[in-house]
Structure formats: structure tokens, C-alpha cells
Amino acid sequence: MSPRTAFVFPGQGSQKVGMGGAWLAEYPAARAAFTEVSAALGFDLAQLCASGPEEELQLTANTQPAILAVSVAIGRVLAERGITADAMAGHSLGEYSAHVVAGTLTLTDAARLVRRRGQLMQEAVPVGVGAMAAILGLAPEAVAAAVAEAAAGEVCAVANYNSPEQTVIAGHRAAVERAMALCRERGARRALPLPVSAPFHCALMEPARRGLTPDLEAAGFADPAVPVMVNIDAAPVATGAAARDALIRQIDGPVRWIDSVRRLREDFGITRFLEVGPGSVLSGLVRRIVPDVDAFSLAEPDALAKLT
């Protein structure tokens, strides 16, 4: 009997030049996914992923559809091979990939939405005004208390509850710097500024949420074929309307990844997590959150051998 399986889809930060290349070389279904995204966006995304230049791939408006395309390409190969999931989740941007693979959104609609999402997130805050940082080795509750204290009238919030040992914060630059200092004082092993172009998943993204809401409301959302655990609530959605609402609220709300993974394990009995997309960030986080499961990345086709 197959283990109960969750597909988890990575977000921004997992991109690199060359990602998805081996899948495209070997599987027509993967190439078809890229062709669909390129047609939706009006440029050759496969060429950008394969050859860069890296600075262009790193632009948020390009990064988001590129990661979506790689993730869905791999998801379609899995579907062809009869490899299915009992539930799904995606980290931030990855929630869109989950909804495409679950049948909630078409790939064409998702590609246009995430490109627009990337543009709006980039434009929401002038460069240099916001910042993000990773806090390592301090309990998430302690980090949340530190950011509340450090805000001092500015925006400072937990953006990603990634694992019991890793919490990402976001907000106004000075407030984030104050929070980093407080976290170090209170025992954090490290507090590292992140090289990002905007402070994602905090109240400074409210203009992006307002800007993307009409696009999400205009897009067609079907009911997902399997439950999708959404970031903002760490709860499964079973209808298209609930999926749309969660994607709207996700833009300026936190990614509750710890609770999402725990619920997949406890409520759905998931014992195998497959990271569907570039990189291996999520499989590492999953192993830290629920050490009693199997978790591995399918970034390259040779990883399929682990599924037999």
C-alpha cells in the first residue's frame, strides 16, 4: 500500500538558472507546461530558466512564474506516472502551484496572476524602505514577542513561521533591525538580513493585496480535487471560493508553515512529503517540523527512483 502522500510546492528563493532543465529534456508533459506559461506571458520562459541572465530571473515578476512553471511541469509528469497526493500545500507563491496541480486554477490563469503578483509586491514598497530577516535558534513565540516590541509605531511582523528553529520577519527596515537586535539579546543563534527586494507577507504588502484582488476575483476557481492546506489559516480548503479568499489574504499575512505541516501529518495521516519544484528548502523544513516522516525533493528526475 502506498504511503499517504502530500505534495509541497516551493516559493520564491528556490530559483536558479538551469532549474527544470532535466525535466524539460526528458518529458514532453514538462515542455508543454512551459509552452503554456510562455504563451500566457508573451515571452520564452524556458529560455530564461535555462540560460538566464540570472539578474533577470531574480526579478520578482519573472521569478514567480518561473518557479510556478517548473513546479507544475514536474506535477504533470507525476500525474502521467500515476503518482498522486492525498493533500497539498505550497509555501507562499507555491500555493498557486498547488492549486494548479489540484485543478483549482488553470496554468494560464495562474501564470498571469503570479506575474502580476510579483509586479505588485515589488511596487508596494520603495526600495530600501522595507527589509526581511531570518531569525535562527529562537522559538517562534519569542520572535513574535520581539517583533511586537520592536515595531514602535512602524510595521514589523512575523512573515514566515518556517520551522521551530527558523522564523522570518518583515517590515520597515529600522523596525526589522531593532527586532534582530532584540532577538539576539534573547538568545537567537543568528539574525540574518535577507537579500530580498521587498518585505513580503506583512502589512506593507497591503497595496499589493488591494491591487491583486480584482485579478483573483476575475479568475475562474474550481473546487480542488484534493484538499489544499493554505498558508494564512494553516487549514485545508475544499472549494474554489475559499481558495481564492485565502490567496487574497495571504499577500499581506504570514505563512504558517509549521502549523500547515503539522496538520498534514496529524489530520491527514501524511507520512511522505514530496517537494515538487526547484530546490530542497521545504523538504528540509518538513523534516525539522515532523521528524517521523519521509521528505525529499523532486527537483531532478532521478529522484523519481525513490518513489518505486
Q: Is 92 a catalytic residue?
A: yes
Contact 57, 48 (CB under 8 A): yes
* HEC secondary structure over 91-118: CCCHHHHHHHHCCCCCHHHHHHHHHHHH
Q: Is 172 a catalytic residue?
A: no
> For the chain, first and last CA: distance in Å?
12
CA distances from 258 to 14, 24, 29, 67, 163 (A): 19, 32, 32, 22, 5
Backbone angles phi, psi at 125, to 5 degrees: -135, 130
Q: What are the helix (H) ranges across the chain? A: 21-26, 28-41, 45-51, 54-57, 60-80, 94-101, 107-123, 140-151, 173-185, 206-218, 240-250, 257-268, 281-289
Sheet holding 87-90, edge to edge: 235-237, 228-230, 87-90, 5-9, 272-275, 294-297
Question: Of these residues, 92, 97, 260, 297, which one is catalytic?
Answer: 92
Nearest to 112 by CA among 217, 230, 231, 215: 215
Question: Of these residues, 14, 97, 201, 280, which one is catalytic?
Answer: 201
* Torsion over CA: 294, 223, 232, 33 (sign): positive
The label of the residue with cell 514589523 reads: 156
Locate 277 and state its grid cell.
Answer: 519544484
DSSP 225: S
DSSP reduced 3-state for 10: coil
Q: Which residues are catalytic?
A: 92, 201
